[in-house]
Amino acid sequence: MRIWRRLVALPLMSAVNGQVSKMDRAGHLRSNPTTLDQLWAKAKIVHFSDGRLAVSAVATELHFLSATEITALIKSGEFKAGEKYFLGLDALDSEPYFAWNSDHPKSQSDDAPAGYATLREIGGDLDEMQMELALHTVALSNWHKTHPHCARCGAPTSVAMGGAVRTCDADKSEHYPRTDCAVIVLVRDADDRILLGRQAVWPIGRFSTFAGFLEPGETFEQCVSREVFEESGVSVSKINYLGSQPWPFPASIMIAFEAVIDDPSAARPDGEEIVEVRWYSRAQLRTEMEDGSLLLPPIISVARKMIERWFGAEHGEFTGQSLTGGESWR
């Protein structure tokens, strides 16, 4: 029990390591178009185009545009006028940041254009500040792209409040971004082994923690119990919250939990979504990572952070060890 309590006391896990936000979203500025225009003129701007972010030449950080550069790109016809969204102010120096959601006039192939990369491709290289900006940009842009019409009357909608709202052009109703809540669970037994599962659509050797969407009228804890039982056949006896992570693929937030089960022998896949489950000790996991037979979630995912947290937690202490080896985005 002492080990369990110490584990829960560790810092929360997320894409930004549970730190206080580097950004002030400054919601009080969204209602003033004149102020937003003034901020746009001097802002650092994240470009999101055709599902990709503008990145540096070596593709290890975001490439910020200026308002002047964007005006030139639009005039040249290289990009559509698009939409601009206010991301907020730097919490330290109040420097403004915006997102520019603008695609190429012509449809793009699956090959990434030079200077652009998906969040999945670049996420592991971004620092906390840039990761926060990238997540905000991708999540907000995805929502705007999929909500061009009013859910009430079908009329077109327009950007309002600096991108925080879309307003119906006909009935003036307001529509707000929505985030789909999903729980993600690291299952452990009394011997401190973890249970991982492989989805049917994943390649052989790809394993991860268990996850599922919150259903209407359900608490997070109820969702944890239901999803773990449905996917792996085990009943949880203890549940503890660990942290959260935005996951804009396309519009989720992952709520991370750790769950303890009493009967590891009951573990079995549901045969539909999950086709294989395995119990792992630290030694077993290390061996399979080193020989390449085990593919874990990507390094920017909360699932990976949950596994690494457990892997470094021996005798109730977090040693800071980090797993290395194969990983898969699927």
DSSP string across 68-124 = HHHHHHHHTTSS---EEEEEEEETTT--EEEEEE---SSPP-SSPPTTEE-HHHHGG
Among residues of the chain, what percentage have pLDDT more than 70?
86
In contact, 182 and 211? CB cutoff 8 Å: yes
Angstrom distances, CA of residue 194 to CA of 124, 152, 178, 209 = 24, 46, 32, 9
C-alpha to C-alpha distance for 184 and 158, rounded to whole angstroms: 34
Q: Which CATH class is domain 179-318?
A: alpha beta
The predicted structure's pLDDT at residue 211: 97
Per-residue model confidence as pLDDT tens digits over 2-49:
333 333 333 344 443 456 789 999 999 999 999 999 999 999 999 999
- Assess contact for 100 and 38: CB atoms under 8 A: no
190-204: pLDDT as tens digits = 999 999 999 999 999
Measure the CA–CA gap between 67 and 44, rounded to whole angstroms: 8
The reply to whether 23-146 and 179-318 are identical in fold is yes
pTM of the entire predicted model: 0.85
Tell me which CATH code domain 23-146 carries.
3.90.79
Every domain of the chain and the residues it spans: 23-146, 179-318
Per-residue pLDDT of 234-284, as tens digits, reads 999 999 999 999 999 889 999 999 999 999 999 999 999 999 999 999 999
